[in-house]
Amino acid sequence: MTLDEITISRAIISDYMHTLLEYMEMDVAIVGGGPSGLVCSALIAEKGYKVGLIEKKLSIGGGMWGGGMMFPRIVVQSEAKRLLERFNITHSEFSPGYYTARSIEAVSKLTTAAVDAGVEFFNLTTVEDVMVKGDGRLSGLVINWQPVEATGLHVDPLTIRCRMIVDATGHDAVIAHYVSKKMGKPDIKGEGTMWADNAESAVVTHTKEVFPGLFVCGMAANAVSGGHRMGPVFGGMFLSGESAAVQILQQL
């Protein structure tokens, strides 16, 4: 077989353009491909809904890749152990209630679960604004290529329509900030200091709909509600993603 470079290029452009057109409208758009976003997307998509995950970086996984200070291990507490088992992530008990897992395996298996459930990924894509129309409900996102944002090029964006949006952008709570700036709510309190025990339970409590059509999960939830940070313990992230999925599925 003789390979033709133009055929290769046409295959990539044709396939991806077809996907972009298909996902101009979707059930749920999840912004941020960290652990909470991955869990949330997988659990919603496996119920048959059209889910797109938007990630501004080249790779999926958020802060989980680096574990703690580049030691590629994460800790998950007993409350979230069942989700390690749910996604077949190998783990071992370090001491009662504390389980360690390999960062790279955790990211890879969560990503695989999302892909297998039908989630479509849009990496190197950034959200630069939101759509809120006459009904006062968040109804879409304004997107562009991340390199356009990074280089400061004046290139107009495109838009996508979605029934529900999840802000899983971590500490920055990007989507919540866009909505707050334009609509005056939610009231974003900002992230507190390191306090793992408090933060891990609070992040699940803070996972909720903060504006019609907008849910927050993971560290974005704590940033909006004034919760603390927790470092490389990820059980709360998993449970927060699960909680967001459960709440959204009740509305879809």
pLDDT band at 29 (very low <50, low <70, confident <90, very high): very high
pLDDT given for residue 227 in this prediction: 96
Q: What is the dihedral of CA 151, 185, 225, 215, to 10 degrees?
A: -70
For residue 73, say whether it is annotated as part of any ligand binding site. no
Q: How far apart are CA 65 and CA 15, in angstroms?
A: 29
Q: Is the separation of the CB atoms in 171 and 191 below 8 Å? A: yes
CA atoms within 13 A on the CB side of 73: 10
pLDDT band at 234 (very low <50, low <70, confident <90, very high): very high
Q: What is the value of pTM for the model shown?
A: 0.97
Calculate what percentage of the chain has a pLDDT beyond 70: 100
Q: What are phi and psi of 236, to 5 degrees?
A: -65, -35
Calculate what percentage of the chain has a pLDDT beyond 90: 100
Q: Is the separation of the CB atoms in 79 and 237 below 8 Å? A: no
pLDDT given for residue 28 in this prediction: 98
- Where helices occur in the chain by DSSP H, the ranges are 5-22, 35-45, 81-86, 103-117, 146-151, 174-183, 196-205, 219-225, 235-251
Provide the mean pLDDT of the chain.
97
For residue 171, say whether it is annotated as part of any ligand binding site. yes
Look at residue 4 and give its three-state secondary structure. Answer: coil
For residue 229, say whether it is annotated as part of any ligand binding site. yes
pLDDT given for residue 48 in this prediction: 98
For residue 15, say whether it is annotated as part of any ligand binding site. no
pLDDT in tens, 66-90: 999 999 999 999 999 999 999 999 9
For residue 177, say whether it is annotated as part of any ligand binding site. no
pLDDT given for residue 93 in this prediction: 97
pLDDT in tens, 103-158: 999 999 999 999 999 999 999 999 999 999 999 999 999 999 999 999 999 999 99
Domains of the chain, earliest start first: 26-251 (3.50.50.60)
Q: Is the separation of the CB atoms in 247 and 207 below 8 Å? A: yes
For residue 55, say whether it is annotated as part of any ligand binding site. yes
- The whole-number average pLDDT for the span 237-250 is 98
For residue 127, say whether it is annotated as part of any ligand binding site. yes
pLDDT in tens, 211-228: 999 999 999 999 999 999
Strand partners, 25: 161
DSSP state of 59: S
For residue 156, say whether it is annotated as part of any ligand binding site. yes
Give the burial class of 224: count Cβ atoms within 10 A of its Cβ; 0-12 exposed, 13-18 middle, 19 or more buried.
buried
